Structure 1
Amino acid sequence: LREARTRLGEALLGFESCGARMWARQTGAELRANGAAPAGAGAADSGPAAAGELARLTPQQLRIARLVAEGATNREAALSLSVSTRTVDYHLRNVFATLGVRSRVELVRLVEQAEKTGAQL
Protein backbone atom coordinates (compact mmCIF):
# COMPACT_ATOMS: atom_id res chain seq x y z
CA LEU A 1 0.00 0.00 0.00
CA ARG A 2 2.86 2.35 0.80
CA GLU A 3 4.42 1.78 -2.63
CA ALA A 4 1.06 2.39 -4.33
CA ARG A 5 0.70 5.68 -2.46
CA THR A 6 4.22 6.69 -3.47
CA ARG A 7 3.58 5.93 -7.12
CA LEU A 8 0.22 7.70 -7.06
CA GLY A 9 1.89 10.73 -5.47
CA GLU A 10 4.51 10.78 -8.22
CA ALA A 11 1.81 10.45 -10.87
CA LEU A 12 -0.14 13.32 -9.30
CA LEU A 13 2.89 15.60 -9.45
CA GLY A 14 3.47 14.63 -13.08
CA PHE A 15 -0.14 15.27 -14.06
CA GLU A 16 -0.12 18.63 -12.29
CA SER A 17 3.13 19.69 -13.91
CA CYS A 18 1.84 19.01 -17.42
CA GLY A 19 -1.60 20.51 -16.83
CA ALA A 20 -3.60 17.26 -16.99
CA ARG A 21 -6.23 18.43 -14.49
CA MET A 22 -8.69 15.58 -15.02
CA TRP A 23 -6.00 12.96 -14.43
CA ALA A 24 -4.68 14.91 -11.45
CA ARG A 25 -8.18 14.97 -9.90
CA GLN A 26 -8.64 11.24 -10.45
CA THR A 27 -5.21 10.47 -9.04
CA GLY A 28 -5.92 12.69 -6.04
CA ALA A 29 -9.17 10.79 -5.48
CA GLU A 30 -7.27 7.49 -5.56
CA LEU A 31 -4.80 8.82 -3.00
CA ARG A 32 -7.62 9.89 -0.71
CA ALA A 33 -9.39 6.55 -1.17
CA ASN A 34 -6.18 4.86 -0.04
CA GLY A 35 -5.96 7.04 3.05
CA ALA A 36 -3.28 9.44 1.86
CA ALA A 37 -3.54 13.19 1.53
CA PRO A 38 -2.43 14.35 -1.93
CA ALA A 39 0.74 16.41 -1.86
CA GLY A 40 1.79 18.79 -4.55
CA ALA A 41 1.64 22.36 -5.69
CA GLY A 42 -2.08 22.33 -6.34
CA ALA A 43 -3.17 19.52 -4.05
CA ALA A 44 -5.55 21.68 -2.08
CA ASP A 45 -7.44 22.81 -5.14
CA SER A 46 -6.74 20.23 -7.81
CA GLY A 47 -8.46 17.25 -6.22
CA PRO A 48 -12.10 16.42 -6.69
CA ALA A 49 -12.82 17.49 -3.12
CA ALA A 50 -12.12 21.14 -3.90
CA ALA A 51 -15.32 22.97 -2.98
CA GLY A 52 -14.77 25.46 -5.80
CA GLU A 53 -15.38 22.67 -8.28
CA LEU A 54 -19.05 22.64 -7.27
CA ALA A 55 -19.38 26.12 -8.72
CA ARG A 56 -18.73 24.61 -12.15
CA LEU A 57 -21.99 22.64 -12.02
CA THR A 58 -25.17 23.86 -13.66
CA PRO A 59 -28.10 24.52 -11.31
CA GLN A 60 -29.77 21.25 -12.37
CA GLN A 61 -26.55 19.28 -11.91
CA LEU A 62 -26.14 20.81 -8.46
CA ARG A 63 -29.70 19.85 -7.48
CA ILE A 64 -29.09 16.28 -8.62
CA ALA A 65 -25.71 16.11 -6.87
CA ARG A 66 -27.31 17.34 -3.65
CA LEU A 67 -30.12 14.76 -3.86
CA VAL A 68 -27.67 11.93 -4.57
CA ALA A 69 -25.46 13.08 -1.68
CA GLU A 70 -28.53 12.87 0.57
CA GLY A 71 -28.94 9.23 -0.48
CA ALA A 72 -31.53 9.47 -3.25
CA THR A 73 -31.47 6.91 -6.03
CA ASN A 74 -31.59 8.13 -9.62
CA ARG A 75 -35.27 7.26 -9.72
CA GLU A 76 -36.01 9.13 -6.49
CA ALA A 77 -34.10 12.17 -7.74
CA ALA A 78 -36.06 12.03 -11.00
CA LEU A 79 -39.39 11.92 -9.17
CA SER A 80 -38.34 14.76 -6.88
CA LEU A 81 -37.35 16.98 -9.82
CA SER A 82 -40.17 15.87 -12.15
CA VAL A 83 -37.75 14.67 -14.82
CA SER A 84 -37.03 11.26 -16.31
CA THR A 85 -34.58 8.83 -14.78
CA ARG A 86 -32.63 9.05 -18.00
CA THR A 87 -32.25 12.83 -17.53
CA VAL A 88 -30.87 12.24 -14.04
CA ASP A 89 -28.46 9.62 -15.44
CA TYR A 90 -27.27 12.11 -18.06
CA HIS A 91 -26.73 14.93 -15.58
CA LEU A 92 -25.07 12.64 -13.04
CA ARG A 93 -22.55 11.42 -15.64
CA ASN A 94 -21.72 15.06 -16.37
CA VAL A 95 -21.43 15.81 -12.65
CA PHE A 96 -18.95 12.95 -12.25
CA ALA A 97 -16.90 14.14 -15.23
CA THR A 98 -16.92 17.79 -14.15
CA LEU A 99 -15.91 17.02 -10.57
CA GLY A 100 -13.48 14.23 -11.44
CA VAL A 101 -15.26 11.68 -9.26
CA ARG A 102 -16.00 8.10 -10.23
CA SER A 103 -18.57 7.01 -7.69
CA ARG A 104 -21.49 8.17 -5.62
CA VAL A 105 -19.34 7.71 -2.52
CA GLU A 106 -16.77 10.20 -3.83
CA LEU A 107 -19.59 12.61 -4.69
CA VAL A 108 -21.01 12.33 -1.16
CA ARG A 109 -17.56 13.04 0.31
CA LEU A 110 -17.12 16.06 -1.92
CA VAL A 111 -20.51 17.52 -1.00
CA GLU A 112 -19.92 16.84 2.71
CA GLN A 113 -16.53 18.53 2.55
CA ALA A 114 -18.05 21.52 0.78
CA GLU A 115 -20.69 21.78 3.51
CA LYS A 116 -17.99 21.69 6.20
CA THR A 117 -16.10 24.52 4.54
CA GLY A 118 -19.27 26.57 4.18
CA ALA A 119 -19.53 26.40 0.39
CA GLN A 120 -22.91 27.39 -1.02
CA LEU A 121 -24.78 24.35 -2.29
Structure 2
Amino acid sequence: MSLWAERARAELRATGDVPAAPRRADDPLSVLTAQERQVVRLAATGASNRDIAAQLYLSPRTVGYHLYKAFPKLGISSRAELARVCGT
Protein backbone atom coordinates (compact mmCIF):
# COMPACT_ATOMS: atom_id res chain seq x y z
CA MET A 1 0.00 0.00 0.00
CA SER A 2 2.79 2.48 0.78
CA LEU A 3 4.29 1.95 -2.69
CA TRP A 4 1.02 3.04 -4.30
CA ALA A 5 0.80 6.06 -2.04
CA GLU A 6 4.34 7.13 -2.91
CA ARG A 7 3.66 6.62 -6.61
CA ALA A 8 0.52 8.76 -6.36
CA ARG A 9 2.47 11.51 -4.55
CA ALA A 10 5.18 11.41 -7.22
CA GLU A 11 2.63 11.71 -10.01
CA LEU A 12 0.89 14.60 -8.27
CA ARG A 13 4.23 16.39 -7.88
CA ALA A 14 4.93 15.82 -11.58
CA THR A 15 1.67 17.56 -12.50
CA GLY A 16 2.58 20.54 -10.33
CA ASP A 17 0.04 19.76 -7.62
CA VAL A 18 1.41 20.20 -4.15
CA PRO A 19 -0.40 18.41 -1.33
CA ALA A 20 -1.26 20.54 1.64
CA ALA A 21 1.48 20.55 4.20
CA PRO A 22 0.63 20.30 7.87
CA ARG A 23 0.70 23.67 9.59
CA ARG A 24 3.59 24.07 12.01
CA ALA A 25 2.89 26.25 15.02
CA ASP A 26 6.23 28.03 14.77
CA ASP A 27 5.85 28.88 11.05
CA PRO A 28 2.45 30.07 9.78
CA LEU A 29 3.82 30.09 6.22
CA SER A 30 4.47 26.34 6.34
CA VAL A 31 1.16 25.66 4.56
CA LEU A 32 2.31 27.54 1.45
CA THR A 33 4.24 26.29 -1.56
CA ALA A 34 7.80 27.57 -1.91
CA GLN A 35 6.76 30.05 -4.62
CA GLU A 36 3.80 31.30 -2.58
CA ARG A 37 6.11 31.79 0.41
CA GLN A 38 8.50 33.94 -1.63
CA VAL A 39 5.68 36.07 -3.03
CA VAL A 40 4.00 36.49 0.37
CA ARG A 41 7.23 37.53 2.08
CA LEU A 42 7.91 40.17 -0.57
CA ALA A 43 4.31 41.41 -0.51
CA ALA A 44 4.50 41.71 3.28
CA THR A 45 7.33 44.23 2.87
CA GLY A 46 5.02 46.43 0.82
CA ALA A 47 6.33 45.50 -2.62
CA SER A 48 3.82 45.80 -5.46
CA ASN A 49 2.90 42.88 -7.71
CA ARG A 50 4.97 44.49 -10.46
CA ASP A 51 8.03 44.80 -8.18
CA ILE A 52 7.67 41.21 -6.96
CA ALA A 53 7.26 39.98 -10.54
CA ALA A 54 10.44 41.73 -11.66
CA GLN A 55 12.42 40.33 -8.74
CA LEU A 56 11.21 36.73 -9.19
CA TYR A 57 11.06 36.76 -13.03
CA LEU A 58 7.29 36.23 -13.05
CA SER A 59 4.40 38.13 -14.57
CA PRO A 60 2.40 40.44 -12.29
CA ARG A 61 -0.65 38.26 -12.97
CA THR A 62 1.22 35.19 -11.70
CA VAL A 63 2.13 37.09 -8.54
CA GLY A 64 -1.53 37.99 -8.08
CA TYR A 65 -2.49 34.35 -8.55
CA HIS A 66 -0.02 33.20 -5.88
CA LEU A 67 -1.41 35.77 -3.45
CA TYR A 68 -4.96 34.69 -4.34
CA LYS A 69 -4.07 31.08 -3.48
CA ALA A 70 -2.09 32.00 -0.34
CA PHE A 71 -4.66 34.24 1.38
CA PRO A 72 -7.19 31.48 2.20
CA LYS A 73 -4.41 29.15 3.33
CA LEU A 74 -3.24 31.83 5.76
CA GLY A 75 -6.76 32.75 6.86
CA ILE A 76 -6.45 36.36 5.73
CA SER A 77 -8.28 38.51 3.21
CA SER A 78 -6.02 41.49 2.53
CA ARG A 79 -2.42 42.51 1.92
CA ALA A 80 -2.52 44.59 5.11
CA GLU A 81 -2.77 41.39 7.15
CA LEU A 82 0.38 39.90 5.57
CA ALA A 83 2.72 41.83 7.83
CA ARG A 84 0.99 40.38 10.91
CA VAL A 85 1.16 36.83 9.58
CA CYS A 86 4.76 37.13 8.40
CA GLY A 87 5.89 38.90 11.55
CA THR A 88 7.31 41.92 9.72
Which consecutive unaligned segments of at least 5 residues does structure 2 have? 1-24
Q: C-alpha displacement at 1:108, in angstroms? A: 1.1
Residue identity matched to 1:77:
I
The residue identity in structure 2 corresponding to 1:99 is L
Alignment partner of 1:81 out of 56, 71, 83:
56
1:109 is matched with which residue? 84
The aligned counterpart of 2:41 is: 66
With structure 1 as the length reference, what TM-score do the two structures score?
A: 0.49
CA distance in 2, matches of 1:59, 1:51: 17
Question: Structure 1 residue 51: deviation in Å?
Answer: 4.8
- Whether the 8 Å contact between 2:28 and 2:85 is mirrored in structure 1 is no
Q: Relative to 1, partners in 2 of residues 1:65 and 1:51: Cα closer, same or farther, differing over 3 Å?
A: farther
Which of 43, 57, 74 aligns to 2:32? It is: 57
Cα RMSD (Å) of the superposition? 1.5
Give the aligned residue type for 2:63.
Answer: V
Number of residues paired by the alignment?
64
Cα displacement (A) at 1:52 = 3.6
**1:47-98 deviations in whole A, cap 9, x for unaligned?**
xxx6543101000000001100111001100000000011001000011011
Q: Distance in 1 between matches of 2:74 and 2:26?
A: 10
Query: Percent of pairs identical after alignment?
Result: 45
User: Unmatched 5+ residue regions in structure 1?
Assistant: 1-49, 116-121
Q: Could you tell me the TM-score, scaled by structure 2's length? A: 0.67
Structure with the largest fraction of helix? 1
